[in-house]
A and B are shown apart, each in its own frame.
Chain A
Amino acid sequence: MVSVMPQARPARTKKRVRSAPYIFIGLAVLYLLFFTAFPLLTGVNLSFTDSKLLNPSAGTYVGFDNYSALITSGAFLKSVSTTLIYTAATVIGCLVLGTASALVINGFLPGRAIARTIMVLPWAVPTVALALVFRWIYNDTNGIAGDVSQGLGLGQVGWLIDPNYGMLAVVIATVWKLAPFVMLIVLAALQSVPEELYEATRVDGADAFTTFKQVVLPQIAPTMRVVALLMTIWSFRRFEIIWLLTGGGPVDATTTIVINVYRQAFNNGNLGLAAAAGVLGLLLSLIVTVVYFFVEQRATKANGIES
């Protein structure tokens, strides 16, 4: 093709057009096409059929029936709002607790290395092990969380069996596991805040909160926006921790969209309906991503005008 005159081009191999890059990247691309893109399209296709789990290929096309059934069903709409509540609570919880932890641990502290290791530990615990221990902590007759709620005067709360507390219990466990991840990222961003900025505000006699708001926050804001996006996307599709703690219960209190998809498919056997719910869930995270990039672009533009 273009490589007839290789000498005329700059020496860097990067500029040449050849088949090598396609061979190198092709394996991974084909792999992903086969194991993610193809199933994704199959899933979209399934969402327009009435396929059943026992014989997936025997479904017939029903047009938008599954979608109209979903958006008129209270159960699905509730799972959407449950997803949004779960996402908002975990993202905010992780950002606040993770950032606070990073601020506390940034800089000199006695025993900092050990403290840091223990604070990161939850993130390293596999979800299944985490679910086991939280189920035991939340156990309604012998769990230590029951002792705590009694101590607080709330009485013996059935954390995983009382619909009023199920979501809170799941959110606490999720934040416990993921706040350390936010802490690590914010900690890395904090290291890049120039020392002179602190000096300047200290001379001004600013208190800790003012320093944080006016000096630290603007510096780490871009990082926090990226973390917020990642956390949001991950929360939309998070399955294991909810499934293992409550299975979507008590009384659907924690049935998010993905839990709904899984139950429809593997408990009720309605593959078509499950796929449609999954497609709607995916659209939701697409919208969030698009909004994020829109906001990010406006933020970049605004900064450009300022400086």
Chain B
Amino acid sequence: MIGRRNLSIGVRTLLALALVILAGFPVFWMINTAMTPVGDLYANNQRIVPDFSRTLNIFQVLVSDSPFLRWLGNSALVAGGTTMLSLLLACLAAYALSRYKFVGKGLMTFGFFATQMLPEALLIVPLYSMFMTLGLLNELYGLVLVNTAFAMPVAVFLLKSAMDTVPYEIEESARVDGCNALTILQVMFIPLIAPSLAAAAVITFFDGWNEYLFATTFIHDTANWVASTGLASFIGEFTTPLDMVFSGAIVFTIPAAIFFLLMQRKIVAGLTAGSVKG
């Protein structure tokens, strides 16, 4: 591998260092700001090196009397609900796409892909009036329902390509033993595709966790806000101290960042599978 691109390691190391600084800076700045006492933030000589003695300051946002902890809980509920509903629907759909030939299969596959193209901003107008009629506005499970519509197709493609790699022989033998398709799916497929299932769970969970547009449009009651709406509400208001705002942002980011970094390859595969393989 060494020197295979004729660019010396020295040059590449320097370039990599520059890219690391570029990529890491905003996250570093978020941490630095959260650790700086508010008075110093607006001083002309803002500190560049974080004050690590104030590390625990970040997590005080969780125990303070701000509603942030409650919003995080709401986010977790919405994200968890989105994950369960998406995976249930996606497992069944992926199994049909992977194991059966049927009329309309191509059209349905295209339909799943086409949902990726729909602008939420167009759908949100009719969805808003639909949800108003159905009494789903202001409800957390309303968000679960709408997030699932956008998260589930990605899970379908990811699970379908995982199921495609499971040999037919395995289910043949089970079928001979008299198992029906649903049992085969439950008992044989789910354990075999567990890694992809985990990846799909992470993708759908953080779709629900990060989602902002529907959450901010559909939920008016601040007690039912999710963390993304709550954090965004700090924009342009000046009563909440900035170090507190950034502490909240960090606490909100940590779970998403950890899981995304752990699952990066699977997530990329999931996001591109639908378009690459059709």
User: Are A35 and B146 neighbours in the complex by a CB distance under 8 Å?
Assistant: yes
- Interface residues, chain B, CB within 8 Å of chain A? 1-2, 4-7, 9, 12-13, 15-17, 19-20, 22-24, 26-27, 29-30, 33, 41-42, 46, 89-90, 92-93, 95-97, 99-102, 105, 108, 111-112, 115-130, 132, 145-146, 148-149, 152-153, 156, 168, 171-172, 175, 181, 206, 209-210, 212-213, 217, 227-228, 231-232, 234-235, 242, 245-246, 249-250, 252-253, 256-257, 260-261, 264-265, 268, 271-272, 275-276
Which residue in A13, A131, A136 is a CB contact (below 8 Å) of B242?
A: A136
In the assembled complex, the CB of B155 is this many whole angstroms from the nearest CB of chain A, namely 10
Given contacts A13-B171, A120-B261, A126-B209, contact A278 B23 (CB under 8 A): no
User: Are A240 and B212 neighbours in the complex by a CB distance under 8 Å?
Assistant: yes
In the assembled complex, the CB of A30 is this many whole angstroms from the nearest CB of chain B, namely 9
Which residue in A28, A107, A282 is a CB contact (below 8 Å) of B5?
A: A107
User: Are B126 and A275 neighbours in the complex by a CB distance under 8 Å?
Assistant: yes
For B6, B42, B120, which residue has the most chain A Cβ atoms within 10 angstroms?
Answer: B6
Across-interface contacts of A110 in B (CB, < 8 A): 9, 13
Across-interface contacts of B5 in A (CB, < 8 A): 103, 106-107, 198, 208, 211-212
Does A132 touch B at the CB level, under 8 Å? Answer: yes
Does A306 touch B at the CB level, under 8 Å? Answer: no
User: Are B235 and A137 neighbours in the complex by a CB distance under 8 Å?
Assistant: no
Minimal Cβ-Cβ distance residue in A for B6: A208
Does A274 touch B at the CB level, under 8 Å? Answer: yes
For B1, B212, B265, which residue has the most chain A Cβ atoms within 10 angstroms?
Answer: B212
Minimal Cβ-Cβ distance residue in A for B100: A21
User: Are B228 and A128 neighbours in the complex by a CB distance under 8 Å?
Assistant: yes
In the assembled complex, the CB of A39 is this many whole angstroms from the nearest CB of chain B, namely 4
Which residue in A20, A121, A181, A226 is a CB contact (below 8 Å) of B275?
A: A226
User: Are B115 and A39 neighbours in the complex by a CB distance under 8 Å?
Assistant: no
Across-interface contacts of A35 in B (CB, < 8 A): 127, 145-146, 148-149
Across-interface contacts of A165 in B (CB, < 8 A): none
Across-interface contacts of A301 in B (CB, < 8 A): none
Given contacts A239-B213, A240-B212, contact A39 B127 (CB under 8 A): yes
Given contacts A105-B16, A107-B5, A281-B122, contact A32 B112 (CB under 8 A): yes
Which residue in A42, A43, A109, A136 is a CB contact (below 8 Å) of B12?
A: A109
Which residue in B1, B15, B27, B235 is a CB contact (below 8 Å) of A125?
A: B27
Minimal Cβ-Cβ distance residue in B for A210: B6
Across-interface contacts of B117 in A (CB, < 8 A): 233, 237, 282, 285-286, 289
Across-interface contacts of B128 in A (CB, < 8 A): 56, 265
For A32, A130, A233, which residue has the most chain B Cβ atoms within 10 angstroms?
Answer: A32
User: Are A239 and B121 neighbours in the complex by a CB distance under 8 Å?
Assistant: yes
User: Are A144 and B260 neighbours in the complex by a CB distance under 8 Å?
Assistant: no
